[in-house]
Each structure stands twice: as structure tokens, then as C-alpha cells.
A and B are shown apart, each in its own frame.
Chain A
Amino acid sequence: MSANVSGVKHTRGFDVIKPLSVSVLIAIMLPLVLLPLASIFVFGTSNGLTSFWNALVAPEAIFALKLSFATSFWAMIFNVIFGLFAAYVLSRYAFWGRNAIIVMISIPTAIPTAVAGFALLLLWGPYGLLGRYLPPDMQIMFTPYAIILANIFVTFPLAFGVIMPVLETMSRSLEEASATMGASRWQTFWYVTLPSLRGAIVGGALLTFARAVGEFGSTILVSGNLAGRTQTAPLYIFSKFNEGQVEAANAVAVVLALFSFVIFSVLFFARDWLEAD
């Protein structure tokens, strides 16, 4: 290893490594990410913009998009609040079993989403462990609430994962100063801790939201996939593709692709904006 390091030379003048490495980067991304995305746009608009627009404003497509955004929104709200709470507790207090809790929060990342959906069904389904005790008019599965539950499960660790490292590395001196100046624990949290976390909160929220909007594997199991009732945007795309209506599927896919582009642009720029207060 050390022999290699001594071989590195500092180049003067035109640095050929820079344009080369940038083009290698793009060349790798092209077939893996960029071209597949481009093909969605090409196929989505191949029959002209009018038919693209008509596919998009079909009532079932609009409903599917609305349902996706709404269910993801509630999952995001819950997971951000929970993530903040969990990160605060786990970074401020040391107790027996702390690491076990951190590991447990992270488990949903590694579980296949279909397994997550199936697990929810086995628990809350009309014949599930707990679901069988629910009266018929209070059943959760196969309603939009089931989609929220599935979204919460699969995005559970995301907001926590963003907030926790920031909270752990945050200097305690400000909080301690605030406490010595007579602030209550709540005041310290609200005026000192929280403001320095806003970048992480917004980042975690957007990540959770984006991931939930694209969720498929668990939703198809718990929602019943009923068009105009429990069919989210990814399920709509899947159903339309199965029915051979590739344009309809692509129109909604284009919206989702543009949406994630916006989300991650916001994520990228909002961070600087929020941190430079």
C-alpha cells in the first residue's frame, strides 16, 4: 500500500484525470440509471403529448397519485416525529438494551417489502392474529389506512437514520449552557436542540416521503389493489402494464420520476438554505 502512495504524482497544467473521471462516472450512470429513466419519458410521450395528457388526467390515475401522496404524507409525519423522539431518547440516555432498540428500528430496511406486507396482513388482516378481534366495520386491511401502516413500516428507519447521527455528534455544550441559564428541558429542546436539527428533519422527511410514494411490494398485499379505492400510483402503473396499456402506465411513471427529481433537488438545496441561517 505504501509503495502505491509514494508513486502518486502531482500533475501540473492540464489535469487529464479530472475530465476522464467525470466521463467514467457518467458512462457508468448512463446504462444503469439515466437511460432507463429516459426510456420512461420516451415511451410515455411516444403517442404524442395529447394522449400522454389524457392518460394522466384519467380519474383513476389522478386518484392513484392523490392516494399515494396522502398516504405517504401521513407515514412521513409519523416517522419524522417518531424518528426525532427515538433519536433524542437514544442519544441522550444510556440504558441497558439501547443497542438492541437501534438495531430493531433499522430492521425494516433489510426486510423484503412483500414480507412486510404479508406480516401486516397476518397481524391485522380479517383472519390475522389481532385483526380477527376487530369488528367488521373497523377492519384496517384493504383500506387506505393499511397503506399508511405499510408505508410507516417500510420507511420506519429512514428519518431516524438521518436525525440520529446529527444528534449524536452535536456538541452538548450549547444544551448545557442553556440548562445552566435556567431553561427548562423543554425550552432547551425547542430553542436549542431542534433548530440545529432542521436540516436533518427536512432531509429525513423528504427521504421518507419519496420512499413511501414509490412503495409497491407491501402495498399490493395490504391494499387489495382496487382501482379508484385503494390503488396507489405504483399499483396503478403495475396494473396498467399488466393490462397492456403501456402509455397509461408510463404517464404516471413520468410523474413519479419527475416527483423524485424535485424531491431530491429540494433535499440538495434546502440543506444549505436551512443550515445557513
Chain B
Amino acid sequence: MKRLCLSITLIFAVLATTDCLPGPMDGSDGSKGVVITVYGFSIMKEPLEKSIFPAFAAKWKAEHGSNVSFITSFAGSETVTNQILQGAPADIAVLAIERDVDRLVQGGAVKNDWRARPGKGIVNTTPFIILVRKGNPKQINDFPDLAREGVQLIHPDPTSSGGAQWSLLAIYGSELKKSEAASGGEDIPKATQLLHEVWHNVISTPGSAREARTSLETGYGDALVTYELEGLMMTQAGEPFQVVVPKATIFSEHPAVMIDRSLTPEKRPVVEAFMNYLWSDEAQQAFVKHHFRSVTNDLFNQANPEFVKIELPFTIELFGGWDKAYPDVIQGVFINQIKTR
């Protein structure tokens, strides 16, 4: 009995020397000032954490004399949206696709006027490219090559990742765009056929674009359709991969929204200031530094020589906006005709 008591006291003693429950790292003692919680889709981590948060905190401190700090959570865009819909304590969300913002609006978390901000609420953009292993051993030069037999493709999961949906639209839309350039009419059956064949070569569907990239880096698969910046980051870090630029591809557009639902009056001015800051020249140039493309000033983009040139670029407007793209292409073509077959 004594031994039991002893061991129990011992366990308690060990725990007492740590904490009962560790308090939040961001200092609830007020030393860190207002704490802004940002939920972002996977690839937003670097520009936000490395450049934009510290720069805004310094700016706010200089102008108002008080501190601002940030806490973050990053995952696939659909995952982040679901978390917020379930009540996760976000102040701001940066998402991969507008459809997720629409879901937040429907769920009452975001106000309907989010498009009133500069760039119609879109904070930055980037084209979709193909990432292959160095030397391009499988000779992949455009989307149709991904449909070739023996090519193993990593593709994020469209149910959790916004980047995955952009990728589907890039592959499908590229065929529409090319057929339109060649014959003047969009060849929908051909585009469906291509997406079908490409999907057949998918060997793994990770939860987010970043997770898909990690899979490719760990050695799986031959290719990945992803954001240009992922490719630029990898080649810049000297990793054995190279970027293949498709002839026609989509420019993804990433909305940033304020989660009005849970904002306290003390917090609101700071969060509002941060939202405005995202479209400032300083923040837009920071995005460009981290390989995103600016939406406010094309001169920033021209200053970055690493950005690839796309022969036939297109946007979500090719499909008539997300209101049409999701039901027509993601649901109508991908989910109904391809995924379930």
C-alpha cells in the first residue's frame, strides 16, 4: 500500500514540476497584446509567418505603441473551413477557393460583403504548374502527358484541399482553352476524357497541397500538379525537382476573410487594420518575395524574374466563376463521372 501511495505521489510530483495544464504560449498575461488567430490553407504558412506577421506587428507597435501577436493553424482549405464552421476560434481565414468563403457566409461566420475589399477580396494569385523529378525522366511536358501509361501522379484530395480543385480545373480547363484556340469551340468530351485518364494515374491523394508535396519529396510518384510557388520554393532550396510549364493553365485566386462571427469589439480595429494591410504594397511585395503573385500591382510581379510565362492563361471565369465551376466541373464532371467510376 505504501508503495502505491509512493508511486502516486511521485507521479503527482513529476507533474507538479511541469504545469497542471500548460497555458497558451502567446502569453495571456497581456505582454503580447492583442492575439489574432489566423487559419490558413496549407501553402500560406511561409509568407504569413516569415514576413507579413512580423512586419504588421512592428508597424502596429510603431503606430499605436501596443503589441500584436499571431497564432496559426494550417491545413487543407476545405478542412480549415469545416473547422471554422464547427466553431474553431478563428479571427481571419485565408482560403484556397472562394467556394469555401461561400460556405462560411452560409454558415453565418463571414459577412456577405467580403468582396468589398481590394482585389474583390482576393489577396494573391498563382498559376498551376507540373512538378517533376529533376531531368524529367518521364518526359512530362504538358497535362496530356500525365495521362500516359506508367506515369504515377500524386494529387491532393479534392474533398479536403482547395489546391486539388484548382488542379482539376487546370487540367480540364487547359483542354477547353486549347480546343477553343485551335477550332474556336470548347471540346468538353475531350476535356472530360483527359481528366478521366489523368485521374486514373493518381496513386495517392494527400489531404493538402503541402502534404502532397511532402509525399513527392519523400520519394513517391513522378509528378504533382500544384501551385507555381511550391515548385519555385523547391527548386530554390536546391531540391532535385523541376517545374514543367503547361501550355494552358489556371491562375488560382486566394480569398482572405474576416470571421465576423466571433470578433470582440477590442479586437476588431486590429483585425480590420491587418485585413487592410494584406493589400498594402508592403504585404503584396512580401507575397511576391514568397513566390505568390500580387493582385494589386503587376509591376511587383514583373520585378520577379523567376515567375514562369504561360501561353494560354485562364482564370475561374473560363467556367463562369466558382458558382458554376463547382457544380459543373468538380461535382458534375469529377465527382459524378470520374471519381466514382
Contact = CB atoms under 8 A, between A and B. Distances in A.
Interface of A: 59-60, 63, 66-67, 69-71, 73-74, 121, 125-127, 131, 136, 139, 141-142, 144-145, 191, 194-195, 198, 201-202, 221, 224-229, 239, 241-244, 246, 270, 273-274, 277
B89 interface: yes
A154 to B, nearest CB: 18
A69 B213 CA distance: 31
Interface of A is mostly: helix
Given A70-B21, A243-B45, A244-B217, A225 B75 contact: yes
Nearest to B88: A224
Given A198-B3, A227-B71, A242 B210 contact: yes
Interface string B80-95: 0001001111000000
A206 to B, nearest CB: 10
| Chain B CB within 10 Å, residue with most, of A121, A141, A241, A242 | A242
A70 B210 contact: no
Interface string B217-228: 110000000000
A92 B247 CA distance: 76
Interface residues of B, number: 36
B24 interface: yes
B21 A71 contact: yes
Contacts of A191: 1
Given A126-B86, A139-B87, 18 more contacts: A59-B25, A66-B19, A67-B21, A69-B15, A70-B19, A142-B88, A144-B22, A194-B1, A198-B1, A202-B4, A202-B7, A225-B83, A226-B37, A227-B71, A228-B24, A229-B71, A242-B42, A242-B207
B214 A242 contact: yes
Interface in B1-30: 1, 3-4, 7, 11, 15, 18-22, 24-26
A141 B71 contact: no
Contact of B214 (A202, A244, A277): A244
B72 interface: yes
Contact of A127 (B19, B75, B86, B89): B86
A141 B24 contact: no
B167 interface: no
27 contacts: A67-B21, A70-B18, A70-B21, A70-B22, A73-B15, A125-B86, A125-B87, A126-B87, A127-B86, A136-B262, A141-B87, A194-B4, A224-B89, A228-B26, A229-B24, A229-B71, A239-B74, A241-B214, A242-B42, A242-B208, A242-B214, A243-B45, A244-B210, A244-B214, A244-B217, A274-B3, A274-B4
